[in-house]
Amino acid sequence: MDATMTVMTNSFDTGTIGGVAQVGLSKMLRPECYTHEKWFERELQAIHFPAWHFACLSSSIPDTGSFVTRRFLGRSVIVVRSEDGAIRAFLNSCRHRAAPLTSQTCGQSHHFKCPFHEWTYDTSGKLTHAPGLGGYVTKHDLPGLNLNLVPVKCEVAAGLVFINLSDDNETPLEKYLSNYINSVAVPHQIQRMHCVHEKAYTLATNWKLYIEVDMETLHTNFIHSRSIGSQPVKPVQHDRNWFGVYHKNSHSPALFPEKRNLAFSPPPDVIGEAADGTHFCVILPGFFVVTAPEVMWWIQKTPISATRTSVNVGYAFHEEILARNDFNEVAPFYFERLDQVI
């Protein structure tokens, strides 16, 4: 065994992990845990494949045939609203020769047609047309064969659409999110928010480094001195697969200080702590979501390799705010501020 593998074997030791988890006395992970592909492969199997991953807001696919595509853990996934109104997810892969069905990141269509041999599927994933197999396919045409799209677990909670790529995971989304729904999502009325701006890019970094800095507020006085400065927070009581902090604020943190007088007023049904401050939360493993009284933004990290991370960013507002006459005039100030943080 070479020296690198010896170090990695030691890193897998439960004593090493236990030391990282000691509250108040915790140690850093070894450097190779952020760079070595062997460690990364262990993370994929133990952390990422069993997890639920945010795909989009349900309001982003409002109509029959509305869809988005997302790439998770080496797989392209289509999330679509079917004819019956249900939101479903499938691998973006034709069952014939595995060609991608669409290269679009979003759109609307009542069917998905493979560009290679024109096998065609409806929004429920059913194969409806297959040249070379007798034209339009029915159960009687191909007895015993299932050539429909490969389904991916997909569930919705409080307007948040998540997918799960594991064949073995039996934890429903609401149980996975636990009290995040009633503690954060419902008070902030996330189910009535609409995404108005998205970005996607790749960073040359380990995914854990980005997650670690999300919830670390010591740096704000230095890196964010002009836009945030001191930002006192208190922990939020959490359970299971999320954690967060709460920042009580009289002025919106989603605008630069000199523009905060322009902040949109939150809808009247955003009440309590949701109306008085901002929740900064991580839904594990990589979904950082910030809900202020009048706006929500997220930074989702999906690992590509030990040293490369895919990032999806979105900004969303309540439907009442989108209907304001001054939305198009004021919204760019929000984008400017949030872009600066990103």
The string of pLDDT tens digits covering residues 265-278 is 999 999 899 999 99
**C-alpha to C-alpha distances, 10 to 14, 15, 27, 28, 60, nearest whole angstrom:** 9, 9, 15, 14, 45
Mean pLDDT of 215-236: 77
pLDDT at 31 exceeding the cut of 50: yes
Condensed to tens digits (0 to 9), the pLDDT of residues 150-185 reads 999 999 999 999 999 998 878 999 999 999 999 999
CA distances from 185 to 190, 217, 290, 323 (A): 5, 22, 10, 21
Same-domain check for residues 239 and 192? yes
Residue 193 covered by a domain: yes
Please tell me the predicted confidence (pLDDT) of residue 77.
Answer: 98
Q: Which pLDDT tens digit goes with each residue over 58-68?
A: 999 999 999 99
Mean pLDDT of 113-141: 82
* Residue located via tokens 């670390």: 216
The residue with tokens 């069993």 is 50
Distance (Å, whole) CA 155 – CA 168: 16
Is residue 171 one of the residues assigned to a domain?
Answer: no
Same domain, 197 and 309: yes
Structural domain for 129, as ranges: 54-164
DSSP helix/strand/coil, 45? helix
Q: Does one domain contain both 7 and 91?
A: no
Pair (297, 323) in one structural domain: yes
Span 43-52, pLDDT tens digits: 999 999 999 9
Residues 15 and 58 in one domain: no
Give yes or no: residues 204 and 334 share one domain.
yes
Q: Does 146 share its domain with 60?
A: yes
The mean pLDDT of 276-290, rounded to a whole number, is 96
Per-residue pLDDT tens digits for 177-193: 999 999 999 999 999 99
**End-of-domain residue from the set 164, 195, 227:** 164
Domain count, the chain: 3
Give the distance from CA 180 to its chain's centroid.
Answer: 15
Q: Are residues 36 and 64 in the same domain?
A: no
CATH number at residue 156: 2.102.10.10
Is the pLDDT at 137 greater than 80, yes or no?
no
76 and 208 both lie in a single domain? no
Residue 220 scores a pLDDT above 80: no
Q: 188, 270 in Cβ contact below 8 A?
A: yes
Query: For all residues of the chain together, what is the average pLDDT?
Result: 89
Cα angle for residues 213, 178, 165 (degrees, 5° grid): 75
* CA–CA dist 334, 57 (Å, integer): 19
How far apart CA 300 and CA 184 sit, in angstroms, is 18
CA-to-CA distance for 1 and 65, rounded, in angstroms?
53
pLDDT of 221 = 77
Q: In the prediction, which pLDDT does 158 show?
A: 96
Share of the chain above pLDDT 90, in %: 72
Choosing from 110, 140, 164, the residue where a domain stops is 164
In a domain, 173, yes or no: no
The answer to whether position 169 is within a domain reads no
Would you give the distance in Å from CA 287 to the centre of its chain?
5
Mean pLDDT for 280-305 is 96
Report yes or no on 170 lying in a domain.
no
Q: Say if residue 9 is in the same domain as residue 79.
A: no
Task: Name the residue with higher pLDDT: 2 or 281.
Answer: 281
Per the rule left: phi > 0, alpha: psi between -120 and 50, beta: everything else, 112 is: beta
Structure tokens at 292: 């202020």
User: Among the three residues 164, 198, 224, which one is the final residue of a domain in this structure?
Assistant: 164
Q: What amino acid occupies position 203?
A: L
